[in-house]
Amino acid sequence: MSLVVHPRDALFAAGERAPLLPVADHYAGVEARMRKALALQGDLADRALFDVTLDLEDGAVVGAEAEQLALVAELIASPANRFNRVGVRLHPYLHPSFPQEVAGLLGHAEAAARLAFLMVPKVADAAELAAACAHIETAARAAGVKAPPVHALVETHGALHEVHALAALPAVESLSFGLMDFVSAHRGAIRSEGMRLQGQFSHPLIVRAKLAIAAACHAHGKTPSHSVITEFKDREAIAEAARRAAQELGYLRMWSIHPNQIAPIVEAFAPDPAEIDDAISILLAAQAQQWAPIAHKGLLHDRASFRYFWHVLERAERTGQALPAEVRTAFFDPAA
């Protein structure tokens, strides 16, 4: 009897698997909005179709840092965190609040065990991010917990210049593009239109930065996360931005700053239904042939293209697309 080999084992070498993150990352920093985001995450599906990042930095109230930290730890440890897909944006590494925030989160045993990631903003360069990662790992050891993955915001000239070094850091799971601070760092040379939909996809300096981040992440097996879009009431604009981020610039994830943005982002990052059908047919046939080359619709496929179609199928599953029962049983059941 032939051994049925899962595509993760047949198609990828050890250490070659990139982290599988939800395609949307929703930010909230005010208590009512944080609780609303967690409720929506739990109600939308039987798994997390988007991450929630609770904000200790720019989205939070100034002057109430200790109270915000306590609230965030409480929410992460609470039943509202249904899927353990809640992260936290810290203050920058050199900010006085950074060590207290790391210690407070990792010193809270239940919150630390359920923390999805820590986001480090306004990274100056690779040395600074490496120091932040080391600080987090040291604090985790002191608390007797596992260090969470680190996400980082690329929004300075220094961070962009060293983006490959940032992505190469072992603790780093994802890099995000910080549009607003990046535009501001150009001292008016990029006009304010660069912060809006058309400008951020047309200005050469912005597009160059986005491509550099995406390329570095793919080179090192990390997840590139696209910047915000401020037109939060315009569903068509949100959908266009997400589609262009995914299809033109190679991003696998995108920020949301308003609940209205979550569904259009998830929908835009989902694969085309026809491609999902092709992926199902090709992968089931390939698995039946022990991953030997097969023909499909007059085209020859081998493990190189199988890898591509496996990524398509994984993205379909992560975005909540309806998949046949036999596909779920073969590829996505816990025992698979």
Q: Which domain holds residue 302?
A: 272-332
Beta-strand runs (E) in 57-136: 86-89, 115-120
- Does residue 209 contact residue 179 with C-beta atoms inside 8 Å? no
The pLDDT, as a whole number, for residue 233 is 82
Specify if 291 maps to a domain: yes
Over residues 109-165, the pLDDT tens digits come to 999 999 999 999 999 999 999 999 999 999 999 999 999 999 999 999 999 999 999
pTM over the 0.85 mark = yes
Residue 89 labeled ligand binder: yes
Confidence of residue 174 (pLDDT cuts 50, 70, 90): very high
Residue 275 labeled ligand binder: no
Reduce the DSSP state of residue 177 to 3 states and report it.
strand
Last residue of a domain, one of 243, 269, 295: 269
291 and 200 part of one domain: no
Specify if 284 maps to a domain: yes
Specify if 10 maps to a domain: no
Over residues 86-121, the pLDDT tens digits come to 999 999 999 999 999 999 999 999 999 999 999 999
Over residues 246-267, the pLDDT tens digits come to 999 999 999 999 999 999 999 9
* % of residues, the chain, pLDDT over 70: 98
231 and 326 part of one domain: no
- Does residue 147 contact residue 102 with C-beta atoms inside 8 Å? no
In angstroms, the CA 74 to CA 110 distance is: 9
Last residue of a domain, one of 253, 269, 285: 269
- Half-sphere exposure for 45 (CA within 13 Å, toward CB): 15
Specify if 37 maps to a domain: yes
Confidence of residue 1 (pLDDT cuts 50, 70, 90): very low
100 and 184 part of one domain: yes
244 and 287 part of one domain: no
247 and 277 part of one domain: no
Specify if 11 maps to a domain: no
CATH number of the domain encompassing residue 221: 3.20.20.60
Residue 181 labeled ligand binder: yes
